[in-house]
Each structure stands twice: as structure tokens, then as C-alpha cells.
A and B are shown apart, each in its own frame.
Chain A
Amino acid sequence: MAENIFRKITQYRNFGLLVGMIILIILGLIITPAMFTMDSIISMLRNNSIYAILAIGMMFVLLTGGIDLSVGSTLALTGVVSSLLMSTNPGIPAVIWVLVSILIGALCGFVNGFLIGKLNMIPMISTLGTMYAFRGLAFLISGGSWLFPHLFTPGYTWYSGGNFLGIYNITWIAIILFILAAIFLSITKPGRRIYAIGTSSESSKVSGINEGNVKILSYTLCGALSGLAGMLYTANHAISFYGMAEGFEMQAIAICILGGVSIVGGKGRIDGIVISTVMMAFISYFISLLPGLSVWQDAIQGGIIIIAVVINIITLKMADKRTLKEKGALI
């Protein structure tokens, strides 16, 4: 009986990743026990929930074999718009701003999706373009000025900073989104279609799946999530300016690749990115605690992606070798 449980655990797809996270936590405990107060962990989760939300959207896009560099800019754009609207209309219930930002984000995502899915642009290039276009829009709309905490209504900031059962709202939202995304990807038709076109464009065509439409959907969803993240980010920090969230797309990509999402599409699971989000959160928290180590953040992030991709490629090569060995047995 225990043996069965042991086998089930080791066969778990993301077992390696889980082990990695546990080792990291143990290291953390040993080196900086101060890290592990309940408060600091909940705080850490609060600040990293944004990355989780962006990573979910990025995952949708990566699954189709594409990429979205504009998530940070979409966040900035929607954050600027919703906080501006909130500050000038303090009487309107904040939930409206949540919806507005999701809508604007979806629109941004739709632009990406259209360029990539219908006009067949290369995702790298087109999202590079929209990355700057959206941020520029954020600047235009904000007039370059900042919005400071006193202009934020409590109803607005509640969405991120409110507390329920000891955990911040923004973290709850991230958790709910993880669950919804998992459901979407595992048992809905459009969700499964995303995997289908990512794993085989040819077979998808034969099966009558409209690849362009599926791509449009995935980029739109990514945009919507980035939009939500925009509102939540500004709610979290009670600050808004056009230049915020620079480099967040990197973080999202890192989380996805570390979490086992394949760059070429078709492969990836929510539980993987849950674990990698937590890992990355610990790593950055770690770094911020150790004196003099915070400057290592960027370099480490870049290094992680490279290592993760190399591992990705090695795994693919090993699978190929296995297939050849099989064919070899027949000769």
C-alpha cells in the first residue's frame, strides 16, 4: 500500500520540480530562518501573485507555440486606465474597474491574436511591436504623471490588499485563476484545442480545427489576464504610472519555462507553473533578504531560463533516441 503511494508520487509528472522547490525551501530555512514567519510568507505570496496571473496568460500563448512580449505593457496600460478612471470617479464601485481592465486587456490581446492568427505575423516580432505600442499608449493616457496612494479608493485597493482568512485577496484571485485555468485547459473544448494546435498543426487541420481562431482566443485570454493584473497591480501598490511592470514578461516566461511549458507548444500543465511560481517567489525573496544579493536578480533570471531551455532540449533529444532504439530493434 505504501509502495503504491510511493510509486504514484514519483511518477507524478512534475516530481522533479516539486523536489527542487522543497530543497529550495529547506535551504532557505537553514540560511535565513527569518524568512519563514507566517507574515513574511503571506507577504511574499501577495507580491508574487501578479506574476502568477501573467504566467497563466503566457502559458496559454506558449502552448500554441507562440510568445507574448506585451504582457507587461498591457498591464501598464490597463493599470493606468483603471486607476485614472477610479481616481476621477471615486463613487463608482470598484468592481466596474475590474471589468474595465479585463476588457481593455482582452482588446489588447485581441490585437495580438489578430496580427498573429489571421495576418500570420511572427509572434516574436508582432508582440515586440505591441509591447512598445501599448506602453506608449499608457504614457499618453497618463500624461506621464503618477497616481499616488491618496488618490486610491479603499474599495479599489481592497481587491488586492483585502484580507480573507489571513491571505490577501490578490493571492486568492491568483488561486482562483489557477483553478479556472486548469479547468479550462483540461475539460473545455477551446482549452483542448489550444493543446491540439500546439502539438500538431497538421493534424489539427485534418481534424477541422481552425488554428487562427484558437490563436486569437489564446492571445485574447492572455491579454484579459494581463488586464486584470494591471488593475490588481495598481491596487496592490496603490500607485500607478506608465512605466510600471517593466520586465514582467521576462518573469512570466521564466515561470512558464521553469514550470515545464514547452517553447514549441503543446506541452505544459498548470500544476507545473504553480510550483515554479512559488519557486521563483522564494528565489527572489531569498535574494532580497541576503545583503548584496538583490543585484543578482536579473542575471539569475536569465540564467534560469537558459538552463531550463537546455534541459527542455535535452529531454526532447532523449525521447528521439528512444524512438530510434525502438525502430532499431526491428531491423
Chain B
Amino acid sequence: MTNYILQLKDVVKKFGGVIALDGAQFQLKKGEVHALMGENGAGKSTFIKVITGIHKPDSGTILLDGKSVSFKSPLDSEKLGIAAIYQHVTAFPDLSVVENIFMGREITTKFHTYDWKAMRKRAKEIIAPLSDRIDVSKPMNTLSVAQQQLVEIAKALSREARILIMDEPTASLTKHECEELYKIVDRLRAQGVSIIFITHKFEDMYRVATRVTVLRDSKYIGTWDVDKISNHDLITAMVGRELDQMYPDKTSTIGEVVLEVKNISKEGYYKNVSFNAKKGEILALTGLVGAGRTEVCQSLFGILTPDSGEILLDKKLINIKSPIDALKMGIGLLPEDRQVQGLINELPIYQNVTAPVLNRFIKKGVLSVDDEMNKSIELCEKIQLKAKNIEETPASLSGGNQQKVVFAKLLNCDLRILILDEPTKGIDVGAKYSIYEIMNELASKGYAIIMVSSEMPEVLGMADRIVVMSSGRVTDSFSTKEATQERILEASLNKKLFEVRGE
């Protein structure tokens, strides 16, 4: 027990009605590198935030060096030697590396002015073991992502962190940079720092970690020695759940191909992506967050334009330069971020619903609000929107109903292809079923549906075919009949890395 520098016992964290952590257990040995794995939404980020003091657990205990602790703010955990390094670096882009490292803890002269010379010297010392190529006087935004991460590590070390949490540090690194990072982790371990290493890559885990903990659906699944568990068992631990969510029956017939995406690439986002969408079919585009799925969708909708490749609609080459083009061609997008991209919260529901097709409601040169409201009521009733009246603003609706407003908006247009980006994100179970019903009905009416989803059960329950993306590329595609959760996860993690262990 005294061997453990950090322990979590039965930690529970809820947000409203949603359970983000359901009785988490965790033991971190002093000086060990402990991997934390799990799918998106498994609870990993809440886990970190509880340890760093951003969230306060609703129940359960956190023990530091055997003593129970309670953090009132992230600064508390920092004082006790806990530091976290995130993917989205919270840095000051225009300020130098030195300043970023020392923000809030500057070295000052006796006149209370910045002692740049001392800070530069110290910064170089801190950075040296991590990288020999970073010029500490340069602004953060001139550094590569990998280098920025190293600066964050340096920053954490300079605060004498004893526990370092690294959140997917290898996500944006080249193979070479990963190697460098592994060496640094080794060195940190040798210095006695205990590390929680969150990753999706098995390769990372094998290389640096001695033990691995798996979270799934906010629950603690288990902890194993890395060299004592097989890949297969690990994957099962991550996804091996009962598929008990009910999905409505599908009655659509799959027709011919309407949309062909051929080898589209966009520098920095995705490469050589190809797939087809058929009438009446629900195609799931899945993978881990950051795989590039949303960017592909945005490229089909005219928000982004591919650098190369072709998109064919009914075998004819098309050029989608803006959402206006996309809608005209019959392609609609249900965006990932409802609040920012999907809805105008300050305006009434019916105005949201009629936004893309205002031309249709012009009578004698002016907008006919009556027509707008009637049509909106018609559409909203069709999808069973629960609202007091059509003039309410979406802000007062539940997540599920807000999403339905966006659906209604899309149904108002003459579309043939619907791209739904995480359609059930942040929606409770009952409303989800309702949305699945809508999707099935649309499919049976002949729409081609492309659904981006990170929820495996949803993918397996709703899709006819599955395309998996990882790090900007399509890694696998197969029909749902051939699919298993394991196969999807393997593709999401990019199978190549399995060759490490020869399995």
C-alpha cells in the first residue's frame, strides 16, 4: 500500500444525469510508467481531470502517498507535484519557450524585474535532456507540435512534478519523434517520476509501460501487467460489452451508388480517402477522435476543399466550393457541434428550420412567416420534436430535441445524401432511439446516409457498411455482417502497429 504514490478508490463523477466515472479504481506505483487505455468516451479525460483537480469527485477517495487529498483547484494538485500534459497545448503562442516555461513562476532580479538571462539559462538546462534542437528564445508557435509537447514536459518538470500525466503524447508525432519521447520517458522514470501514459497505440504501451489499466463506458475494467496480457484480451477488455442497446429494424433496400469519393487528400487533415455512398444505405465512418472524419465530411459539404482527388455525384464530377453548392447538389450536413455550427440559438425554431431554403417562402417579394411556421410544424411533427411552440428558441430544448431541429432543417431541403457527424452525441438513451428511427426512415426513403460515429455499438447497430479511419487515412472497410468490435478497434488503432509484437 505504501508503495503506491497515487490511488483512486471508488471514484464517481457525474455531470447532470450522465455518469462520467463509475467507481474508478487506480493504483500508481512510485516510479512506474502506467498505461491507461480505453475508447473515446470511456472516461479517460474525466479521470485525468479528477486527478489534476479540475473536477471534484462526487464520491470516492484519492490518496497521495497514502494520505487522502482533496483538490479545490488545479493549482492545489500542481503544488502537490501533479502535472498533466495535454494534446491541446495551453500555451502562449506568441511568447517564447522560456516565457511559457516560467509563466507564473518567473525568476526575478532584486528589482522584481524578469531575469531573462537566468531564465534562459535554466530553460536551456531543462530542455537539454529533452531536445537539443529547441531554441528557447523562439516563440512557441514556431515550434512543431512535438517540440511544443517537449516544452510542456519541461514546464512540468520544472515544477518538480512527481506524477506526470501524459494525454496521448504520441498522437501527433513522427516515428522518430516517438522514439525520442520514449527515451525521455525512460529517463524520467529513472529519475523517479511516476507517469500515467494515456494512449491508443499498443506500441507505446509495450515500449514504455509496465502495467496497463483499461476503462470502458466509464467503468474500471481491470489492471494487468503489460507482458502478461495478450493483444486480443486487451481489446476484448476495451470493447467486450454486451450489445444490448435496442436498434430499430431496418427496412430499406440498398440501391445504386450516388456518391463516389475517390482518393481525396487535404494537406494536414487526410490522405487518399475513398469510399462510396449508396441509396438507402447507412455508411458508418468511424475511428478515433482526430482521425480526420469530420474534416472529410466538411470537405463533402464545402466547408473545406480537398487539395486533390475526385468527388462524383451520379457518376459526374462535382466541385463543392461552399455549403450553398453542397445543398444545391443534394448533400446536407448535420454538423458535429450543434451549438456553434448547427443552430442559431437566439432565433426561433422555425427560423432555424427554414434558414437554408428561405427562397421557398417568399410570396410577393416578402417572407411569409405563416408559411414558414406551417412548414416547420409539419416537419417537426414528423420527427416528433417536443417543444412548447414553434417560436421558442432552441436554447430551451433538450439535446435530443435540439438535434431534431437540425434534422428538420435538413429535411426542409431537397437532399439525397445526408452526412451526420456524431448525430447522437450528448443525447440521452431515449432520444437516441428516436433519432435512430428517423435515420432508418430516411434510409428507407432512399437517402444515402453517411454517419460519423465514435460509438461502436451504434456503428454496429445502425450501419450497413463500415469505413474505418485512422490518422487521416482509411484503414479498413467492410460490411456490418463481417464486423466485430475488435476488428473496428484494430482498424482504428491502425493495424500496422500490431506487427511490433508479431501477433
Q: Do chains A and B touch in the complex (CB under 8 A)?
A: yes
Binding site for B on A (CB under 8 A): 183, 186-189, 192, 195-196, 198-200, 202-204, 206-208, 262, 266-267, 319, 323-331
Known A330-B172, A330-B173; further 19 A-B contacts with Cβ < 8 A: A183-B113, A186-B114, A187-B116, A189-B108, A192-B99, A195-B92, A196-B103, A199-B94, A206-B74, A206-B90, A266-B92, A266-B95, A324-B269, A326-B268, A327-B268, A328-B267, A328-B271, A329-B174, A331-B271
Which residues of chain B are near A330, meaning CB under 8 Å?
172-174, 471-472
A197 to chain B, nearest CB (A): 9
Counting chain B CB atoms within 10 Å of each CB, the highest count among A186, A323, A330 belongs to: A330
Which residues of chain B are near A183, meaning CB under 8 Å?
113
- B473 is an interface residue with CB less than 8 A from chain A: yes
Q: Tell whether, in the assembled complex, residue A203 and residue B92 are in contact, meaning their CB atoms are under 8 Å apart.
A: yes
Q: Tell whether, in the assembled complex, residue B92 and residue A188 are in contact, meaning their CB atoms are under 8 Å apart.
A: no
Which residues of chain B are near A266, meaning CB under 8 Å?
92-95
- Annotate B79-117 by CB proximity to A: 1 below 8 A, 0 otherwise: 000000000001111110001000110101000111010
Q: With A208-B75, A327-B269, A328-B268 given, is the CB distance from A188 to B114 under 8 Å?
A: yes
Q: Which of B95, B108, B145, B473 contacts A195 (CB 8 A)?
A: B95
Which residues of chain A are near B267, meaning CB under 8 Å?
324-325, 327-328
- B253 is an interface residue with CB less than 8 A from chain A: no
Q: Tell whether, in the assembled complex, residue B271 and residue A200 are in contact, meaning their CB atoms are under 8 Å apart.
A: no
A199 to B74, CA, bound (A): 22
Q: With A208-B75, A326-B145, A331-B472 given, is the CB distance from A200 to B93 under 8 Å?
A: yes
Binding site for A on B (CB under 8 A): 74-75, 90-95, 99, 103-104, 106, 108, 112-114, 116, 141, 144-145, 172-174, 267-271, 292, 471-473
A-B residue pair count with CB separations less than 8 angstroms? 83
B440 to chain A, nearest CB (A): 34
Q: Which of A189, A199, A325, A331 contacts B93 (CB 8 A)?
A: A199
Chain B residue nearest in CB terms to A205: B90
Chain B residue nearest in CB terms to A204: B92
Q: Tell whether, in the assembled complex, residue A331 and residue B473 are in contact, meaning their CB atoms are under 8 Å apart.
A: yes
A94 to B26, CA, bound (A): 72
Which residues of chain A are near B74, meaning CB under 8 Å?
206
Q: Tell whether, in the assembled complex, residue A207 and residue B114 are in contact, meaning their CB atoms are under 8 Å apart.
A: no
Q: Which of A188, A203, A208, A267 contacts B91 (CB 8 A)?
A: A203
Q: Tell whether, in the assembled complex, residue B270 and residue A327 are in contact, meaning their CB atoms are under 8 Å apart.
A: no
A324 to B269, CA, bound (A): 8
Which residues of chain B are near A189, meaning CB under 8 Å?
106, 108, 112, 114
Q: With A196-B92, A200-B91, A331-B473 given, is the CB distance from A207 to B268 under 8 Å?
A: no
A323 to B172, CA, bound (A): 12
Q: Tell whether, in the assembled complex, residue A323 and residue B268 are in contact, meaning their CB atoms are under 8 Å apart.
A: yes
Q: Which of A187, A202, A204, A323 contacts B113 (CB 8 A)?
A: A187
Q: Tell whether, in the assembled complex, residue A207 and residue B103 are in contact, meaning their CB atoms are under 8 Å apart.
A: yes
Which residues of chain B are near A200, meaning CB under 8 Å?
90-93
Which residues of chain A are near B292, meaning CB under 8 Å?
331
15 A-B residue pairings within 8 Å (CB atoms): A189-B106, A189-B114, A192-B106, A195-B94, A196-B95, A200-B91, A202-B90, A203-B92, A206-B90, A207-B103, A262-B94, A326-B145, A327-B268, A327-B269, A331-B270
A202 to B91, CA, bound (A): 9
Q: Tell whether, in the assembled complex, residue B174 and residue A267 are in contact, meaning their CB atoms are under 8 Å apart.
A: no
A196 to B103, CA, bound (A): 9
Q: Tell whether, in the assembled complex, residue A199 and residue B92 are in contact, meaning their CB atoms are under 8 Å apart.
A: yes
A16 to chain B, nearest CB (A): 17
Q: Tell whether, in the assembled complex, residue B90 and residue A326 are in contact, meaning their CB atoms are under 8 Å apart.
A: no
Chain B residue nearest in CB terms to A196: B92
